[in-house]
Each structure stands twice: as structure tokens, then as C-alpha cells.
Amino acid sequence: MYFITASISRYDYCYHSLSPIIMPKVLHLLYAIALLFGSYSVGFALELESGSYTINQDWSQEQDYGRSYFVHAPDGVEPLPLFIFLHGNGGNAERSMAGFIKRHKELSKRYNIVFAQGYLKSWNIVSERSQAPDREFIEAIVAELAEYSNVQASGAVLMGSSNGAALVNQFAIETKLDHFSHYITVVSQLNAWQHDGTAFKAKGSDNNYTESVVPLRGKCLLNVSGVDDRLVPYSGGPSRAIRAKNGKLAFVDAEKSIYSLGAALWLYGRAIEPTQRI
């Protein structure tokens, strides 16, 4: 049995076109040369292409380390929003993206799909092996890709599974980047370090989650959790297997988690739709 809570927003998209400019032949030639050798200088951005990309970061475990992410950019000139997926512990971003695109062909036509690779195949939440600055990694990916002409800066979606979902929660709590409209978490509600029953907590450089923060509002949240999940307990409490600094990682009750975070993220304080069990 699962529960799903969903909030849906509608967006109006604006399209702009450039009217052709009539110029003498010499000026046309100079204009073409300018585009060829200095597209950015005349106000045009390159198109994002499918492939692998890297962001270099420094932290306690690595220096100038190239962190990988993989992109599937649909054909066409229309700017599309980003859909970023974060794998679970032990996941492989490149292989996961290939399977995702095959299963979700229509979705893959509507978004620029991005699969990011976690350091040591994990994301830095509480006591994972990775100590990497993952929020900054995701923010750097968005900032970099938003410069491309076929990427829509707003309306981005961040989705994660398991350990990746835990990072989505932490990202939603901490980020001040306003490109995202939707967060999707699959099989990980808030843990007790991220929300202490009163306030949301920033991870901090030491992973001690001591600073209280207020999430950026105006976002939609969807969470899927398993009622019979033995690893991430639906009703809250310590996991049987996921470790933390003080023993086993404790979780917030799934329904309290979705209500607390959803209410914090929701636009203009509107009510959250009721939990559904299916």
C-alpha cells in the first residue's frame, strides 16, 4: 500500500520571435561572422545537446573533482524546462537515464532530462559515505544549463529515489534557487535530522543539522511512501538498517512529513490536498 500526495500548478508559457532585419549584403556577412565566432557577445546562447557534462568541486574528500551528470535534450528549438533525477544509494546515473527515457518517452519529449551522479554512488545525507556538497552541485548544474537557448529557466522539476529523495528534501529545505516548481520524492520522507518536530534544519558543513531555516515558498510537492516499507518506516522512527551518527537513522511519520514540508513550500498558504492511499 502506498500514499501519494500531489499538488498541481498551471503555467502560461510565453513565446517570443525575432523579426528579420533587412541589411545590405556586407552587413549580413559581418553578422554571420559575428555569430560564428562570438555568439555570446551578440546575445545568443548555444543549444544544449545530449551527452555527459562535469562540474568541478572541492571538499574534504576531493580537490578539483569532476562530478558527472548526463543530459538527454529532445530535438527542437522550443525551450524546455529541466527534469533532474537523483538516483538511490548505489545507483548509476547514466544507466538509470537510459532506462528512464525508454519507459517515459512522452515525458522525455517535454523536458531536458538530467541524471546526476552521486559521489561514491550516494548523496551526502547525515552519515552517508559521501561528504560532498550536493546542494551546491545541483545548483551549479541548473545555473550552467540555464544559459543554453533551449533550456527554460523556470518550471524545473527535481525528483529523487530513496537516498536521492532524501537529498531532494534537503534541497527543498535549503536552496534559495528559484528555478524549480516541483519536487518529487519516492520512498523517503523527512528524517529526524532534517525536521526536529519544530523547525527545518540546514545540513551545515559538519552535517550536524543545527541551523533552523525557512524553505523557499511557491513550490509543489509530491511524495510516494510505502506503508509496509521496512527500511524507511512509514509511521516514523528509526530505520532497521540506515545508519546515523547516533545509531540508526530516524524518520518523521510520512503523513506528518508531507504535511509539514508541503505546507512550508506551498504558495500563499493555500491548503494541501488530503493524503490518498492506494
Answer for the pair 59, 84: CB distance below 8 angstroms, yes or no: no
Q: How far apart are CA 60 and CA 28, in angstroms?
A: 53
For residue 76, the model assigns a pLDDT of: 87
- Sign of the alpha-carbon dihedral angle for 89, 92, 93, 95: negative
Residues 6+ apart with CB under 8 A from 171: 134, 135, 138, 158, 183
Q: How far apart are CA 124 and CA 42, in angstroms?
A: 41
- Sign of the alpha-carbon dihedral angle for 70, 92, 87, 174: negative
Domain assignment present for 37: no
Q: Which CATH number goes with the domain that contains 104? A: 3.40.50
Domain assignment present for 48: no
State which residues form the domain around 126: 2-8+53-277
Domain assignment present for 159: yes
**Tens-of-pLDDT digits for all 278 residues of the chain?**
434 443 333 233 232 222 233 344 544 444 444 444 444 443 467 999 999 999 999 999 999 999 999 999 999 879 999 999 999 999 999 999 999 999 999 999 999 999 999 999 999 999 999 999 999 999 999 999 999 999 999 999 999 999 999 999 999 999 999 999 999 999 999 999 999 999 999 999 999 999 999 999 999 999 999 999 999 999 999 999 999 988 999 999 999 999 999 999 985 444 455 556 65
Biggest alpha carbon–alpha carbon distance for the chain: 75
pTM above 0.75, yes or no: yes
Answer for the pair 41, 34: CB distance below 8 angstroms, yes or no: yes
Domain assignment present for 146: yes
Domain assignment present for 23: no
Q: How many structural domains comprise the chain? A: 1
Domain assignment present for 42: no
